[in-house]
Amino acid sequence: MKTFPKGGVHPPENKISAAVPIEMLPIPETVIIHLSQHLGAPAQPVVEKGEQVKVGQLIAKSAGFVSAPIHSPVSGTIEKIESVPDTSGYKKPAIIIKVEGDEWIDTIDRSPDLIKETILSKEEIIARISEMGIVGLGGATFPSHVKMMIPTGKKAEILIINGVECEPYLTSDHRLMLERSEELLVGISLVMKALGVSRAVIGIERNKPDAIAQLTSLSGQYAGIRVEPLKVKYPQGGEKQLIKAITGREVPSGKLPVDVGAVVHNVGTIVAVYEAVMKNKPLFERVVTVTGKLLERPANYLVRIGTPIEFLVKAAGGMPEDTGKVINGGPMMGKALLSLAVPVSKGTSGIVLLSQSAARRKPVMNCIRCRRCSSVCPMGLEPYLLQALSEQARWDEVEANRVMDCIECGSCSFICPASRPLVDFIRTGKANVNRIIRERSK
């Protein structure tokens, strides 16, 4: 059984909603569509206040190569375009739409039929992915078309599909693999064509045996696609860790996966690619896991982008009295929310509710130099040292000790018996080193 060799932890899985089928969530009365839902330049609005829009209609265009267009997830009237808080808690420009009915643009093929063949060329597939606003749905929201255009001089050899879902609690990718298996496999074939690669491997941790079995049996009908069951270990879903686990290749420090011939996409992204290319459907809805031990009905919802998070929580049984923290994403890398009034964006993979007691950290003690942080670090770093150096603002040494390699997976903070704020200070270190590197290159 393959896995990445160095470090890693085993947080309790808590996949409470794993057996709950994806359910379509009703459309709210108002949706909030932020213009920056992807990595890169924010999209530029192409609609005005008072304008009528339909589901799937372009409302903001891409603002550059590393950017993505945004399409209306609902039909209705543009109420206003103004800055409102997003999941970060900061106010960001957004288009707010008052929902009226559910009228889709007629270019979208809404039939449930599976389409396997396409006459589209490689370039046309990439263009479609770009036009339909597809971004990485695993959480990083990197515009997908950028990953499909291989820089000259480099060559993609293998497509890796990330079905690991190593974050505790989250189950949206697991459900997609089970319920949308064929679409996923066709989507993989499309991306293989776009990349010009003949091999694709779906990496799935063996805590999802049903998904492994189903995709293994179905993948026989698709040339070049196979499933690789992986040993359960966090953070296997980290891009570099997954490439290492599957191919044995190590992405060099500061380089990209394509430097070792690999391109990695999340399963949710690939299903969205299928819909974009074969059904002409822009990315305006996604699967979001809403879960937590206290929650009445943990679920996996198919949600229109822009739906307020409180709407999802209400559908899952309402916010329990003892809730102490609400996380956008998983508990290892997700961000704690200030308020539930913020909307679901393209990058929202799950909403996890923690109790008051689980929400608080234990008191910080002195470092006892047990070296667990460095033994679990999947990047081979020394978190205790980076923390101490960052705390003392010794940025040169922070940089020399490879702080920029940190993927912020949180394994070190998770394992620390002294409850030290390791990742917190490492983030400070990264931000400062990043600033110094920028100033240096000027």
Partner 1 sequence: MSSTNQLTVAHSPHQFGDDSVQKIMYRVLFALVPAFAVSLVFFGLGALIVTGVAVVSCLAFEYLIARFIIKTKPTLWDGSAAVTGVLLAFNVPSNLPVWMIIIGSLVAIGIAKMSFGGLGKNPFNPALAGRVFLLVSFPAQMTSWPVVGTRMNYLDATTGATPLGIIKEGVQNGQPVSELLAEIPEYSQMLLGNMSGSLGEISALALLLGGLFLLWKKVITWHIPVSIIGTVLLFTGILWGINPEKYADPLFHLLPGGIMLGALFMATDMVTSPMTSVGQIIFGVGIGLITVLIRVFGAYPEGVSFAILIMNAFVPLINKYVKPKRFGEVVKHG
SS3 9: strand
User: Rounded to the nearest whole angstrom, what is the least distance from the CB of residue 27 to partner 1 in the complex?
Assistant: 20
350 binds partner 1 (CB under 8 A): no
172-211 residues near partner 1, rule: CB under 8 A: none
* C-alpha distances out from residue 106 to 71, 109, 129, 400, Å: 14, 8, 19, 56
Question: Is there a cis peptide before residue 363, judged by omega within 30 degrees of 0?
Answer: no
413 touches partner 1 by CB under 8 A:
yes
Structure tokens at 6: 């160095």
Residue 178, classed as helix, strand or coil, is helix
Q: Which of 377, 389, 398, 403 binds partner 1 (CB under 8 A)?
A: 377
> Contacting partner 1 (CB under 8 A), which of 380, 393, 434, 437?
380
Q: Which of 81, 108, 218, 340 binds partner 1 (CB under 8 A)?
A: 340
Nearer to partner 1, 194 or 398 (CB): 398
Applying CB under 8 A, the span of 49-57, 92-100, 185-193, 421-429 interacting with partner 1 comes to 421-429
* Among 33, 278, 423, 433, interactor with partner 1 by CB under 8 A: 423
* CA–CA distance, 176 with 302 (Å, rounded to integer): 10
Does position 339 interact with partner 1 (CB under 8 A)? The reply is yes
396 binds partner 1 (CB under 8 A): no
Looking at 95, 379, 386, 403, which residue binds partner 1 (CB under 8 A)? Answer: 379
Does 326 participate in binding partner 1 (rule CB under 8 A)? Answer: yes
Cα 179 to chain centroid distance, Å, stands at: 19
Which residues, in sequence order, are CB contacts of 196 under 8 Å at separation 6+?
A: 122, 150, 156
CA end-to-end span of the chain? 47
Smallest distance from partner 1 to CB 152, Å? 20
Binding mask 83-122 for partner 1 (x = CB under 8 A): ------x---------------------------------
Please name the helix (run of DSSP H) or strand (run of DSSP E) that holds residue 85, with its range, or none: strand 76-85
Q: Which of 362, 438, 440, 442 binds partner 1 (CB under 8 A)?
A: 362
The residue range among 224-232, 265-273, 280-288, 359-367 that interacts with partner 1, by the rule CB under 8 A, is 359-367
For CA atoms 379, 385, 391, 395, the dihedral sign is: negative
Q: What is the CA radius of gyration of the chain?
A: 21
List 148, 260, 263, 272, residue binding partner 1 (CB under 8 A): 260
Strand (E) positions, 238-364?
262-266, 285-291, 299-304, 323-328, 335-336, 350-355
Q: Is 402 an interacting residue with respect to partner 1 (CB under 8 A)?
A: yes
DSSP state of 330: -
